[in-house]
Amino acid sequence: QVQLVQSGAEVKEPGASVKVACKTSGYTFTRYDISWVRQATGHGLEWMGWMNPNSGDTGYTEKFQGRVSMTRNTSIGTAYMELTSLTSEDTAVYYCSRTSSPGFFEFWGQGTLVTVSS
């Protein structure tokens, strides 16, 4: 069965960077885009960007341009999301999700809590 398993919770200081991993299994990793979605406590879902695991092409929402990087390691079926220059506003649960056509999020990781605090 399709599974996306994310790395564990992180605590970071303001100004630092965080890199979250999303290990996939149960399907061909390069056949489906991966998106990252975040959710601050008590708030809704916010889409951050997507990556094509086959080509490595990416697209980021304007809000995160210049601060986010989405990469992958195809040999181990794992996607990564790195966010730099963290502030307290980045404290949230970050989800990876497999994107299916026509543009919906069919499978989700369990989420990774990133806490930014001094």
Partner 1 sequence: EVVLTQSPGTLSLSPGERATLSCRASQSLKSTCLAWYQQRPGQAPRLLIYGGTSRATGIPDRFSGSGSGTDFTLTISRLEPEDFAVYYCQCQQYGVSPLYTFGQGTKLEIK
- Summarize as ranges the residues that interact with partner 1 (CB under 8 A): 35, 37, 44-47, 50, 59, 61-62, 95, 100, 102-111
Secondary structure E strands in 1-118:
3-6, 10-12, 18-25, 33-39, 46-51, 58-60, 68-73, 78-83, 92-100, 104-108, 112-116
Q: Work out how close the CB of 50 gets to partner 1 at its nearest, in angstroms, rounded to a whole number.
A: 7
Q: Work out how close the CB of 80 gets to partner 1 at its nearest, in angstroms, rounded to a whole number.
A: 18
Return the number of the residue (50 or 80) whose C-beta is nearest partner 1. Answer: 50
Cα–Cα distance for residue pair 40/54, rounded to 1 Å: 30
Return the number of the residue (71 or 111) whose C-beta is nearest partner 1. Answer: 111
Return the number of the residue (16 or 58) whose C-beta is nearest partner 1. Answer: 58
Q: Work out how close the CB of 26 gets to partner 1 at its nearest, in angstroms, rounded to a whole number.
A: 13
Residue that has been written with the tokens 């990781």 in this structure: 109
